[in-house]
Amino acid sequence: MKKLVLDLDETLLYSTTEAISPECVKLSAAGSDFYTMLRPGVREFLQKVAKKFECTIWSTGQQAYLESVWEYIGVEGFTLWGRGFCKKIETTDGSEPYEKPLRQITEDLTQIVIVDNTPSLFAKCPLNGILTRTWRGDMNDTELNHLWYYLNWLQAQPNMQRNHEHWRIETLCLRNCMP
Ligand SMILES: [Mg+2]
């Protein structure tokens, strides 16, 4: 089965220390409270991709935070990897000081793809990375719906490594061709 890695923060949801919208839900992890809101369509998206891929949620957040949020989302069939699975890297430009080395999941990079809103996290595997728009609470956002169409198409390709840069435009073409 092909493998899908999904980022958590600003890709599937948005967490803050204060409630910024009526959509926010109060959660806690390791003794600290926080507020989380879900990107529109996230549960449906997760249920669909879980049928097509072996899925890992890979966050640069702490494992306790990841598990707390995931309990709230309540969708089963996902492996949860927190910061402990990321590799720390030296940065001088203020970018994310971590990377997510996909070879920790599989040596065969033709069979794995990562979805993330931070390109530096997959910079060493650019043909495996699908960049999503950073999400911070816009309830009119439709990114996950488009992304599902792209992933559904991609999963049927023998080799998933490619230039994913224009995935949104390609998805529009795919959707227009579908019955
Ligand atoms: Mg992120």
Compute the distance from residue 143 Cα to the ligand 1 centre, in Å: 14
pLDDT tens for 91-108 read: 888 777 899 999 999 999
Q: What is the pLDDT of residue 89?
A: 87
Compute the distance from residue 123 Cα to the ligand 1 centre, in Å: 14
pLDDT tens for 31-76 read: 999 999 999 999 999 999 999 999 999 999 999 999 999 999 999 9
Compute the distance from residue 116 Cα to the ligand 1 centre, in Å: 6
Compute the distance from residue 115 Cα to the ligand 1 centre, in Å: 9
The residue segments making up the domain with residue 92 are 3-177
Compute the distance from residue 178 Cα to the ligand 1 centre, in Å: 31
Element (H, E) at 129: strand 129-131
Beta-carbon neighbours within 5 Å of ion ligand 1: 7, 9-11, 117
CATH of residue 42's domain is 3.40.50.1000
Residue 179 has pLDDT above 80, yes or no: no
Compute the distance from residue 7 Cα to the ligand 1 centre, in Å: 5
Tell me if 37 sits within 8 A of 25, measured CB to CB. Answer: yes
pLDDT tens for 104-156 read: 999 999 999 999 999 999 999 999 999 999 999 999 999 999 999 999 999 99
Mean pLDDT of 17-29: 95
The total number of structural domains in the chain stands at 1
Q: What is the pLDDT of residue 22?
A: 94
Compute the distance from residue 135 Cα to the ligand 1 centre, in Å: 9
Q: Per-residue DSSP letters for 17-56?
A: SS--STT-EEEEETTEEEEEEEPTTHHHHHHHHHHHSEEE
Q: What is the pLDDT of residue 159?
A: 98
Compute the distance from residue 174 Cα to the ligand 1 centre, in Å: 26
Q: What is the pLDDT of residue 95?
A: 77
